[in-house]
Amino acid sequence: MKKLFFAIFPLALSISCNIDRTSKDNSENSPNSIDNIDFISQRHLQNQKFDTLNFKTEEQWDSLNTITHKKVLHKKGKVHPDIRTFGWHIYSNGSTYKNYNFSMLWGLSYFSYAVQPETGSYKSIHQWKTTSLIDSAKTKGCKVFFSVSNFGSKNNTTFLRNQKAQNTLIDSLSSLLALRSADGINIDFEGVPKKDKKYFTKFIIEISKSLKQENPNYMVSLCLYAIDWNDIFDIKAVDPYIDFYTLMGYDYYGSFSKKTGPVTPFKNSKKFGNGLETSVNYYKNKGVHFDKLIVGLPYYGVEWYTKKPETGTVVTKFKSHPRYQSIRRLYIDSLKIPIQFDPKSASSYIIIKDDTNQYRQLFFEDVKSLSIKYDWIKSNKIGGVGIWALGYDDGYSEFWDLLTEKFSQE
């Protein structure tokens, strides 16, 4: 059986793909392709939200996010030896890992080493040096990776044109990987300008060669944008140096959207534009082999204010990117709002009407939508599935149980 790669993500680089550039439906909702205007992904927004908090412990993050460590029972199972499941743990999710079903994870990535663009050192590595997450993962045979992130066109230009800063980053990463006996890195550079493509390609090759020279067992993975509008990725050049790719198969609609739509539409449609299937085929045509591709899916939703209840209607204001935990607790369990389903995009959504005759629309993934996309990934022998992010479903078991149902050896 061909070895598969499955990732529970993290969100990795921002949306950017050379797919159907003339599509009116998609261009209205996709990130701007102009170099000096940065697309802001859900990952980037979250980083901005928490960047000013100088928390030193996971307990502080737990308090901020009201994490209670309510025990959740998981279906018994162990990830199939020919399947790789990979997940991102975000620093702001504190100690939610105490409820992770590590038996269903091949690997996870700690998010993140936030690059200081001028020097290559880190703005923060959060609790990388101290977190018990790494020990808990290794006890269950789960590999551990370290995400490396840099957001924004200006930051990327500054860093990618500074060889000294890149050398500092490589040396720093080498020490930090060795400190926790980690298995490699996941590169998440978002908003790389088109003018810096050759510098980005050179950096990817150099960091891979340097780390593998330090430890031949290190694995280097690269986050791909769902839509590569600026044609940033030179797959032919970097492929020999990349062990696997993580496609950020989300943020097709988000804070930037003029109309409402799914976070991850499945198939291309006139109503919602390009979807996951189109993104995967794009990278296949660029030279990404399916057995090296992990398709990331979201454990969060996107919510807007609108004047009309119909999906695809004009947005009056972006509200938030709620995690699945909040969607379940606030809307489904408490308010009992019925879940609706759009077959074409294979996405779930709910419509909320408030007292002023305004509406809120919330698109998200649930067991029904994820099952369809998991089955498609399996039937096409794509390397795997990734979900951003671990802990977004804290307190609920259905997503872990779905992983067991689809990917367990038992």
Q: What's the pLDDT score for residue 399?
A: 98
Distance (Å, rounded) from C-alpha 147 to C-alpha 135?
Answer: 17
Q: What's the pLDDT score for residue 12?
A: 39
Q: What's the pLDDT score for residue 209?
A: 98
User: Does residue 90 lie in a domain region?
Assistant: yes
User: Does residue 232 lie in a domain region?
Assistant: yes
Q: Provide DSSP, 341-361.
A: EETTTTEEEEEEE-TTS-EEE
CATH code for the domain in which residue 123 is found: 3.20.20.80
Q: What's the pLDDT score for residue 82?
A: 82
Distance (Å, rounded) from C-alpha 94 to C-alpha 406?
Answer: 28
Structure tokens, 144: 């551990």
User: H helices within 234-330, ranges in order?
Assistant: 235-238, 276-286, 324-326
Q: Which domain covers residue 59, as residue numbers? A: 4-299+366-407
User: Does residue 20 lie in a domain region?
Assistant: yes
Q: Using N-to-C axis directions, what is the helix angle for 367-379 and 398-407, rounded to 10°?
A: 20
Give how many domains the chain has, as a whole number: 1
Phi, psi of 268 (to 5 degrees): -65, 135
Q: What's the pLDDT score for residue 40?
A: 79
Q: Print pLDDT tens along the chain (410 aa).
A: 444 444 444 433 333 333 333 333 444 554 433 333 445 788 887 777 887 788 999 999 999 988 878 889 999 999 888 888 999 999 999 999 999 999 999 999 999 999 999 999 999 999 999 999 999 999 999 999 999 999 999 999 999 999 999 999 999 999 999 999 999 999 999 999 999 999 999 999 999 999 999 999 999 999 999 989 889 999 999 999 999 999 999 999 999 999 999 999 999 999 999 999 999 999 999 999 999 999 999 999 999 999 999 999 999 999 999 999 999 999 999 999 999 999 999 999 999 998 788 999 999 999 999 999 999 999 999 988 998 999 999 999 999 999 999 999 96
The pTM assigned to this predicted structure is 0.92
Distance (Å, rounded) from C-alpha 225 to C-alpha 247?
Answer: 6
User: Does residue 327 lie in a domain region?
Assistant: no
Distance (Å, rounded) from C-alpha 104 to C-alpha 153?
Answer: 36
DSSP class of 405: H
User: Does residue 94 lie in a domain region?
Assistant: yes
Q: What's the pLDDT score for residue 42?
A: 82
Q: What's the pLDDT score for residue 29?
A: 52
User: Does residue 277 lie in a domain region?
Assistant: yes
Q: Token match 């090759």: residue?
A: 205
Q: What's the pLDDT score for residue 3?
A: 46
Rounded to whole angstroms, what are the CA distances from 261 to 48, 63, 322, 357?
Answer: 24, 33, 15, 21
User: H helices within 241-318, ranges in order?
Assistant: 276-286
User: Does residue 104 lie in a domain region?
Assistant: yes
Distance (Å, rounded) from C-alpha 21 to C-alpha 377?
Answer: 25
User: Does residue 357 lie in a domain region?
Assistant: no
